[in-house]
Amino acid sequence: MDSAEAADAHTSPHHETADVSAQEENGGEAVVPLQPTTTPSGAPMPTTTDPALIEAWDRCWTVVKASPGEFDVWEELMRLADSQDGGFTPDAPPANIANVRVLYDAFLEKFPLCFGYWKKYSDLEFLSRGSEGAIEIFERGVKGISNSVDLWVQYCTFIMEHKADNREEIEQLFERGAKCVGLDFMPHVFWEKFISFYEEKEDYSKMFQLMERVIRIPMHQYARFYQQYVQLASTRPMSEILAEEQYNTYKAKATATEGQDESSKEEMPEEQIEAEIRRLVIEASGLIYARTAEETNKRWPFEAEIKRPYFHVKPMDMPQLSNWRRYLDFEETEGDVDRIRVLYERCLVTCALYEEFWLRYGAWARSLSDVHLLQDIYSRAVVMVPSSNPSLALTLAMIEEERGENEAARRQYQKTLERLPGHIETIVRFANFERRISPGDLAAAEVVYASQLGLDNIDVLTQTAIVTLYAKFLWQVRKDVDGARAIFKTGEGKFDSKFYFSNYIKFEMDQPGEDYEKRVSAVYEQVRYSGLSESVRNDYGQSYLDFVMEFGSSAARYNQLEADIKAPSVFVAQSRKRAAAAERAEEEERAKKQRQEEEEEEEAKRDVAMDGQAQASDHLEKDGVVAPSDAGSGFVDPAHAQWAGPASGYSYPPATGAYGQAQWDHGAA
């Protein structure tokens, strides 16, 4: 049934009767027709009766399905989702909640570095599913952008509020966050939250131990944390804030008296011991502070140049990119592995769309021989970097194979060929992947090449490469000479390529047999009449002559071939001379025609000018005045102070009547 028949069916009496019957079967209640669950583009239907919103929703989904990188359109979809009838609450229509989840899941899969949307998504899930729903989204968020200080602070704050009695879980979460963001240059909000947690619990020992870690970190507000550390050391008992082993070590130093043996030592008062321990602690921390200040100052010039520390789809300017390169150079020279890793992670939020930084991070990780870190780096890279360049995906596939994850590697190759059918490097790598993992069965590798033959919308150069590489695989890997020859022959008369012909000739020269000369010569003959440039055909022609000299069976054939290959060069030269002469003659004819047209145009202009002068003379004879409309021919009306005749080099005062005519006659003469 076509669309017209379907439209008629919906309005036919039969359908009206069916509706009535259904109404009777339903106890007389009206049957409410089912509402569509998707828009025309296949997007989930928003819960609204506003046709403009539905149209905008469908249009936006169509755009992001075709071009997932359209960030502004995603943002418009977010606004439209907020406009659905019923909102997003525990009592909201189920379709609303489903639509928002589909939208946020799709958006954050493409843009996981947008930490603000993870927070918004967790808030929405909290309204829908409570704390467990929010925690699930937070967990996904800190995996998507593990070095977001803001997101870790929000997550820790949420857990502190909703799981206040579970101290162990809170501490573990803070420690997880510290590994991810603790060495950032601007982590003070996170450390403040962590320190305040122990302060609220009045656990000054753990608070002090935590602050001993913090004052060693080069960061923006290192001095403020040091002041807080000194204040705590100055106000709390040493036995309360120091660990037992640490306290005993300091106490031994405080009570040691140089030059006295144990028997002659006087016991120090507890107050004096306390004061001495405090002095030693603060003195030691002063050295730490100086070192932290020095390390902070080293990094300050680079940090001061970072203008956009967050992710955005807009391009970075060159000074910003250059600053990141220099900053990475600096940290790699310093050699602290943890700090290098943290800086790379920060860089790849800001510069996430730039392949060079992912490749650089991967090269650094490779130097550590950390294949798991490599897999993590490239898995994220293929999400962020535009897919038009598949080098990252191909590298990831090789890493997955190195890890023994062959199915994951195969998926990368398959996804790349889905996005970029006929991509030569992917085909070669995919086929050789299949060859490596199944050396005894090359069928899967052959399928990779065969599946790419005859694809639509593939240019001739790509087709040539696929055919040639497929034939080489059959010839050199599968040892299938007949199969390779059959594939080579599919390109005869279609491909004008040195790559194709060179491999075809090499293939036939590698196959012995009684028809050896005939087969090789047949390929050379194709080259002679191909669309390759003359110089390339001449090179092949010389190789052809060499082949016939070394392997040919007839001198007559060689002599004829030499005449055919070399003699035409004289006629080609003559032909070129004739063509050049014809081109020059044609050019001269065009120039002659153009000069004639220009002369005719000039003559027409002169005729118009003479007509104007004649009309002016008539006016002067009749009226004795110069008509204003003739000013374009050199005439002016009497209001002008000076007037010059069109052919005169003299200037005269304005004149009328016979005197003016006399002046004209003088000037014209």
DSSP letter for each residue of 133-182: HHHHHHHHHHHHTTT-HHHHHHHHHHHHHHSTT-HHHHHHHHHHHHHHHT
User: Quick one: pLDDT at residue 616?
Assistant: 55
Q: 300-328 as b/e, with b when 16 or more CB fall inside 10 Å?
A: eebbeebeeeebeeeebeeebbebbeebb
Token readout for 291 is 């070192």
| Joined tokens for residue 169 | 């879980």
Instruction: Check pLDDT > 90 for residue 395.
Output: yes
Backbone angles phi, psi at 26, to 5 degrees: -90, 20
Question: 438-444, long-range: CB within 8 Å, 24+ apart, which pairs?
Answer: 442/477, 442/478
Q: What is the CA radius of gyration of the chain?
A: 44
Of 90-104, 129-143, 489-503, 604-618, minimum mean pLDDT range: 604-618
CB 624, CB 658: distance < 8 Å: yes
Q: Say how far apart CA 320 and CA 322 lie, in whole Å.
A: 5
pLDDT at 654 over 50: no
More confident residue, 625 or 284: 284
Q: How far apart are CA 393 and CA 368, in angstroms?
A: 21
Mean predicted lDDT score pLDDT of the chain: 83
- What amino acid occupies position 272? Q
3-state secondary structure of 541: helix
The two structure tokens encoding residue 87: 């909102």
The per-residue pLDDT for 150 is 96
Q: What's the confidence (pLDDT) of residue 668?
A: 37
- DSSP-assigned beta bridge partners for residue 44: 38
| Residue length of the chain | 669
Grade residue 66 by pLDDT with cuts at 50, 70 and 90: confident
Closest Cα to residue 151, out of 117, 125, 126?
A: 117
% the chain with pLDDT above 90: 58
Cβ atoms within 10 Å of 221's Cβ, excluding its own: 17
The yes-or-no verdict on residue 424 having pLDDT over 60 is yes
Return the residue matching tokens 């509020």. Answer: 161
For residue 597, give Cα distances in angstroms to 415, 593, 601: 64, 6, 6
Nearest to 240, CA basis, from 191, 198, 199, 205: 205
In degrees and rounded to multiples of 5, residue 492 shows phi and psi of: -65, 130
Distance CA 354, CA 360 (A): 11
Which 8-state DSSP code applies to residue 476? I
- pLDDT at residue 594 greater than cutoff 80: yes
Asked whether 522 and 557 are in contact (CB, 8 A), the reply is no
Eight-state DSSP code of residue 29: P
The angle that helices 167-181 and 131-144 make with each other, rounded to 10 degrees, is 20
Torsion sign (Cα): 575, 576, 580, 586: positive
Distances (CA, A) of 421 to 294, 381, 448, 468, 669: 54, 21, 11, 17, 83
Q: Positive or negative, the Cα torsion across 412, 414, 420, 423?
A: positive
Query: How far apart are the C-alpha atoms of 121 and 134, rounded to whole Å?
Result: 8
CA distance 354 to 321: 9
Q: What is the pLDDT of residues 269-297, one digit of tens each?
A: 888 988 999 999 999 999 999 999 999 99
pLDDT score recorded for residue 50? 78
In CATH, the number for domain 51-255 is 1.25.40.10
Mean pLDDT value across residues 161-169: 94
Residue 630 confidence (pLDDT) above 90: no
Are the beta carbons of 435 and 477 closer than 8 angstroms? yes
Helix (H, G, I), strand (E, B) or coil at 40: coil
**pLDDT confidence of 52, banded at 50, 70, 90?**
confident
User: How many other β-carbons are positioned within 10 Å of the β-carbon of residue 248?
Assistant: 11
- Give the largest CA-CA distance in the chain: 146
In this structure, is the dihedral angle defined by the CA atoms of residues 365, 369, 371 and 373, taken in order, positive or negative?
Answer: negative
Tokens 């092949």 identify what position?
A: 540
Rounded to an integer, what distance in angstroms lies between the CA atom of residue 165 and that of residue 174?
Answer: 15
User: In which residue ranges of the chain is CATH 1.25.40.10 found?
Assistant: 51-255
3-state class percentages of the chain: helix first, strand second, coil last, to nearest 5: 70, 0, 30
Structure token digits, residue 358: 């992912």
